[in-house]
Structure 1
Amino acid sequence: MITTPITLDLLRGALDLEQTDRGVLPHRLPAWARKQYDDGQMTMVESQPSGIRLVFSSRATVIELETLPTKRDYVGAPPRPDGVYDVLVDGQLVAQASVPGGDIITIDLTTGSAETRRGEPGTLRFDRLADVPKTVAIWLPHDETTELVALRTDAPVEPVPVTRRVWLHHGSSISHGSNATHPTGTWPALAAAQAGVELVNLGFGGSAFLQPFIARTIRDTPADLISLKLGINIVNTDGLRLRSFTPAVHGLLDTIREGHPDTPLLVISPILCPIHEDTPGPTGWDLSALADGELRFTATGNPEEIPAGKLTLSIIRAELSRIITQRAADDPNLHYLDGRTLYGEPDNAAHPLPDDLHPDAQTHRTMADRFTTHTFTPKGPFTTPVD
């Protein structure tokens, strides 16, 4: 078996690669950006490799990938399933597997405390592959921090150059892939596959706050298409009032346009979320559900504070629509999409949000289908240019 060093030229969707004491850790934000926050939630979700995949060409019939996952265990809740690795050969899903063990973070939602227990790496083995030249893509678990220890094959591997358009998407936990069951089953991954584009997923669970370091990261990252799904985390944390939300959105767009002045840029408002349509945040854990072993969320804000500037999803949609309409008069490549086009009231009646905040796996597919139809088809903002 040949051991190949894992470097950035074998990874797609990663913006940085950190050397650790046990391997290399892919990151979805560059090192300089990671220095600008001291937040445990962002640190966790940024290191979860949603959209990151190893891509290489080889005649290998056997592939081994040794990894060290970090798993989460919530006190009082059912055990979380192990993260899933999707293996694609020439674009077709041929295998799925998980790595048991690894490090474990035990989180007590009632106290906010967390404790880490170190574990051992595990090895995935994929064999009986055809002895022909092929492109292999191993998608890492979208919601499980994964250190890469070793890549071993029975034939040499080579990086594969990117020839398709690059779509960079930023959003919250729904874009990250919450409640999707495997990494190519998140709605951005599904939409990218349908549209034939290369995905860079900057969806960060619980952490999309219009941060300037994320704006600068998007500004400095090569991309042919950019989308931003904004709003739900602002309500979740009660992080901004209307008076500060509006200039923060303008600032995000201004910074991105410094590096991508003419790139098609789509701003998406939140999908339907009944608990926060007309009730402000913050969002809290439903402790009665937790007592029954369920993870669910509830809105804890007071609607009477809306006149003072508290934000709901209805208010955010109206303001985003106004901002984009205003700016698009001078920026013809700036577009707006109401998130309820992807998931609205009829969908909620048929497929309610399982935890009152995040869609289920089937809804991820529905959202991807609708996004592709709206965005990548003729007259859509991301339509393929004519040569």
Structure 2
Amino acid sequence: MTDWITTPIEPAMLRGAIELERTEHGVLPLRLPARFRTQFPHEYVAMAAAQPSGVRLALRTRATAVELDVLPTKMVYGGGPATADGVYELLVDGRQAGRTSVPGGNVRTVDMSTWAADTTPGQPGTARFTDLPAGEKDLEIWLPQNEITELVALRADAPVEPAPARGRRVWLHHGSSISHGSTAEGPTATWPALAASRGEVELVNLGLSGNALLDPFTARTMRDTTADLISVKIGINLVGSDLMRLRAFGPAVHGFLDTVREGHPATPLLVVSPILCPIHEDTPGPGALDQEAPALRFRAMGDPADVAGGRLTLNVIRDELARIVERRAADDPNLHYLDGRSLYGERDFAELPLPDELHPDPAGHRRVGERFAELVFGDGGPFAAEVG
């Protein structure tokens, strides 16, 4: 019989979270401060912020068995089936050592036309990892990137303490559902997590599904978050939501970058334009589900002729971002630009098409993560490590 030791879950154990919110069950990691809800109390933003993409428990212990009680919240979209159970991944001294899921929990049904949601309560479950190697070691338990996860209790068969900092640079990234990793096969397989691993940096992932929209509260969060490297990936959500016109887009980008620079005046800052997405390259949004398709697919509903009137497409956004960064870089030598098609372009689409016309599949995430690591963290890249 195992003699379990229960250890309170404290902020020092968590990496990648912006804030912890106390709940009736335990603690909820958030990737935006809870105060944003007073400015924009939108269900979909709150859901994205509470899905812990990139959030992990970092522990040091001699334990050979660890249990994490959680209350997951699964998503059901448009009356369809619940999404697959989220994946919890264990790393031991930086190496993959286990994967598991937690069935049950709450079920949140989302109306995709209004983003209103109803929640059916469920019961907590347990993510369990056993047969760990003996001796002192560092553990990371990565939480599901696409499943709200309340942390209820942490148990182990030996004392547990927060893992010490590894002295790595902190990379703060913001982007859309592609950065959030909604279609990745697990939390360490999102493209930002893959790139962070190759770049040997600590990831803080503010990829917010559907909500890379130049929101001031996101810019302020980035301003106030400690980081050594910062990137913002802008475009697909603005086109897909048909949120603004070209007249508003340029000043909004400048304002977002100005706010980030208030807290990070000289930090390397990379602006990344959208990866290739054929349905929106030259056709404005809004994007919508293709009701006639036999499987989940998106389509562009706008008229290319409206581009002359200021409607946004991915090509319009890339051109404008390149101009903005070029102008700002004259006074900001630590500001850089990357065309997203260098991460995933026409040749990649031919080899690894977007299954739903919008999001990469798991192989696509690997491709983007590998390319980002090479172009950005590699020799000569804007985030290359200093030698000496």
Residue 137 (structure 2) aligns with = 134
Shift in Å at residue 342 of structure 1?
Answer: 0.5
SS of equivalent residue, structure 2 residue 35: helix
Cα pair 2:183 2:359 within 8 Å, conserved: yes
Cα pair 1:178 1:359 within 8 Å, conserved: no
Residue 107 (structure 1) aligns with = 110
Residue 365 (structure 2) aligns with = 364
- For the residues of structure 1 that align with 2:270 and 2:81, how far apart are their CA atoms? 37
Q: Please say if 1:51 is aligned against 2:54.
A: yes
- For the residues of structure 2 that align with 1:312 and 1:236, how far apart are their CA atoms? 9
SS of equivalent residue, structure 2 residue 315: helix
- For the residues of structure 1 that align with 2:82 and 2:34, how far apart are their CA atoms? 32
Residue 126 (structure 2) aligns with = 123
Shift in Å at residue 33 of structure 1?
Answer: 2.8
- For the residues of structure 1 that align with 2:18 and 2:49, how far apart are their CA atoms? 11
- For the residues of structure 1 that align with 2:210 and 2:22, how far apart are their CA atoms? 26
After TM superposition, list the pairs within 5 Å mapping 1:82-101 onto structure 2. Answer: 82-101=85-104
- For the residues of structure 2 that align with 1:77 and 1:69, how far apart are their CA atoms? 18
SS of equivalent residue, structure 1 residue 235: helix
Q: Deviations over 1:118-169 (max 9, x none)?
A: 0000012211112200000000000000000000011111112321100000
Q: Deviations over 1:301-341 (max 9, x none)?
A: 11121111000000000000000011111111100000000
SS of equivalent residue, structure 1 residue 64: strand
- For the residues of structure 2 that align with 1:381 and 1:119, how far apart are their CA atoms? 46
Q: TM-score, normalised by structure 1?
A: 0.97
Q: Deviations over 1:217-271 (max 9, x none)?
A: 1111000000000011110111110010000000111111111111000000000
Q: Is there any run of 5+ residues in structure 1 with no aligned partner, and where?
A: none
Cα pair 1:328 1:334 within 8 Å, conserved: yes
Cα pair 1:33 1:217 within 8 Å, conserved: no
Work out which of the residue numbers 150, 154, 159 in structure 2 matches 1:151: 154
After TM superposition, list the pairs within 5 Å mapping 1:338-349 onto structure 2. Answer: 338-349=339-350
Q: TM-score, normalised by structure 2?
A: 0.97
Residue 261 (structure 1) aligns with = 265
Q: Deviations over 1:196-219 (max 9, x none)?
A: 100000000000110111111111
Shift in Å at residue 98 of structure 1?
Answer: 0.3
The share of aligned pairs that are identical, in percent, is: 60
Q: Please say if 1:206 is aligned against 2:210.
A: yes
SS of equivalent residue, structure 1 residue 248: helix
Shift in Å at residue 286 of structure 1?
Answer: 1.0
- For the residues of structure 1 that align with 2:321 and 2:112, how far apart are their CA atoms? 33
- For the residues of structure 2 that align with 1:90 and 1:240, how far apart are their CA atoms? 46
Cα pair 2:298 2:356 within 8 Å, conserved: yes
Which residue identity is paired with 1:54?
A: L
Q: Is there any run of 5+ residues in structure 2 with no aligned partner, and where?
A: none
Q: Deviations over 1:33-59 (max 9, x none)?
A: 343211111011110000000001000
SS of equivalent residue, structure 1 residue 168: strand
Residue 352 (structure 1) aligns with = 353
Which residue identity is paired with 2:191?
A: W
Work out which of the residue numbers 14, 24, 29 in structure 1 matches 2:17: 14
After TM superposition, list the pairs within 5 Å mapping 1:1-387 onto structure 2. Answer: 1-75=4-78, 77-109=80-112, 114-162=117-165, 163-289=167-293, 292=294, 294-387=295-388
Cα pair 2:74 2:82 within 8 Å, conserved: no
Shift in Å at residue 112 of structure 1?
Answer: 5.6
CA pair 216-74 structure 1, distance change in 2 beyond 3 A: closer
- For the residues of structure 2 that align with 1:112 and 1:223, how far apart are their CA atoms? 32
Cα pair 2:79 2:109 within 8 Å, conserved: no
CA pair 27-277 structure 1, distance change in 2 beyond 3 A: same
Cα pair 2:106 2:123 within 8 Å, conserved: yes
- For the residues of structure 2 that align with 1:112 and 1:267, how far apart are their CA atoms? 29
SS of equivalent residue, structure 1 residue 31: coil
Shift in Å at residue 15 of structure 1?
Answer: 0.9
Q: Deviations over 1:332-370 (max 9, x none)?
A: 110000000000011111111011100000010011111
Q: Deviations over 1:74-114 (max 9, x none)?
A: 34545421000000000011100000000001234467653
Q: Say what the alpha-carbon RMSD is for the aligned residues.
A: 1.2
